[in-house]
Structure 1
């Protein structure tokens, strides 16, 4: 269902607009825009990053390893997935993996910046895309699973976002999120990425419970690379001198080695290991009050 932002009435998401008041979302760059005023000026990110990400994601160890962990978690905890919304889908790299893993599922991607949606639509031509503000998600009880991968740390009102994510999930549905972890890892890389915070496990889990979620499983990841990550962040220097591509433009041998280390880490997570520390945290949850 859609909650009309004009009259607050509910109507089926298949409808182009609200049958009660006639509201229809604007169109920006060919996509429905629920927060058109933010489509090129939304906070928390720089739209010019999308071109850099498209060039880096396919081959880089970090993006590929995170994708493989996400797909594993979806298959294990939500094997019957029929509908999926990714909030903050960026260039569509994760969504393309989800689409391949669940070819019969309805997949929807949203992004506050309309510029990013063109990249995502080129990658996943069967998906539905829309521009929206994660603090004002129009969906109500709509999706089997809603996901946000390294998104909410960009937003001051993260608890508002979590409440919106919960509202968009159908009764009994699930949530999958990743966030950067440990404030002591803060560096120029976080400033450049427009992060507002890095989370502690306690902080993100408490916020999820307050938003209406029950935690199924949580673990750190990028754990075996934590010493290297800490060393890299200490060398990052000031935001003015920071080279954002240095961590990604590495030799093929180093890239392969780091990917192999993270493959081992993922195998241990599959076996039930929950890492207490790591550069990022994965949380698998469900909307409270019903079973998945």
Structure 2
């Protein structure tokens, strides 16, 4: 499956590399790190795409050094334009590198694309003290009843694994991680350029979330999970 990220097929279908989501995603990372008092001098993002998240994080943490890794030449070409004295980008697979250690490794909307995601997550552990995972929660009652949302994600953006909160957290624990904090992020409510169906579901999702966050996510979907782990 990794070929699509290297041969240009993914870039052809997703020419922005989801840069429009970078500000929102960086805010989620910033919040969970600050809320947990995490101090750090460097951060590495695996699967950094066009680099927008690191640019936004550098504004929030101006004294931190940032490194982005991606295997896509098309994404790297876009990211390289954003290079600065504090932000560097590598057209490499981090897992092929030896002797690297970061304070934080961020893995933002990546593991659902990786064929052997369990092996990938296990190998990542040695590269950083803290990890920040952002994982879309594609499994819900409404998505399974309709199936079209899941199949669209598979075709359009390359999701080949699907999670709910419990499965995502269990997978991280099984891979040897200690969960420090987790929270839902309202991806379908707050990200830009949502489909008509998502806009129609916005109010029901908000209303049910006020009553029971877990129930809202399990039944109606539209949320992702951000996890801080060691």
**Deviations for 1:53-89, whole angstroms, at most 9, x for unmatched residues?**
47x61xxxx5433322222222333542111110000
Indicate which of 197, 214, 222 corresponds to 1:232. 197
Q: TM-score, normalised by structure 2?
A: 0.74
1:191 aligns with 2:155: yes
Q: Which residue of 1 aligns with 2:223?
A: 279
Distance 1:53 1:39, change over 3 A: closer
Quote the offset at 1:209 in angstroms.
Answer: 1.4
Distance 1:141 1:152, change over 3 A: same
Q: Which residue of 1 aligns with 2:186?
A: 222
Distance 1:165 1:151, change over 3 A: same
Aligned 8 A contact 2:11 2:17 in 1:
no
Distance 1:104 1:137, change over 3 A: farther
Distance 1:39 1:140, change over 3 A: farther
Q: Which residue of 2 aligns with 1:206?
A: 170
The structure with the largest helix share of the pair is 2
**Deviations for 1:66-116, whole angstroms, at most 9, x for unmatched residues?**
322222222333542111110000011111111122222221100011221
Q: Which residue of 2 aligns with 1:115?
A: 74
Aligned 8 A contact 1:84 1:143 in 2:
yes
Q: Structure 2 unaligned segments of length 5 or more: list them.
A: 144-149
Quote the offset at 1:207 in angstroms.
Answer: 1.6
DSSP 3-state at the match of 1:51:
coil
Where do 1:16-165 residues align within 5 Å?
A: 40-41=6-7, 46-49=10-13, 51-53=15-17, 57=20, 62-126=21-85, 127-133=87-93, 136-140=95-99, 142-165=101-124
Q: Structure 1 unaligned segments of length 5 or more: list them.
A: 1-36, 234-246, 248-257, 269-273, 287-292
**Aligned residue pair count:** 204
Q: Which residue of 1 aligns with 2:146?
A: none
DSSP 3-state at the match of 2:6:
coil
**Deviations for 1:215-259, whole angstroms, at most 9, x for unmatched residues?**
011122217839xx89727xxxxxxxxxxxxx9xxxxxxxxxx8x
DSSP 3-state at the match of 1:96:
helix
| C-alpha RMSD of matched pairs (Å) | 3.4
Q: Which residue of 1 aligns with 2:137?
A: 181
CA distance in 2, matches of 1:46, 1:231: 23
Bigger-Rg structure (1/2):
1
Q: TM-score, normalised by structure 1?
A: 0.60
Deviant stretches of 4+, over 6 Å: none
Distance 1:75 1:124, change over 3 A: farther
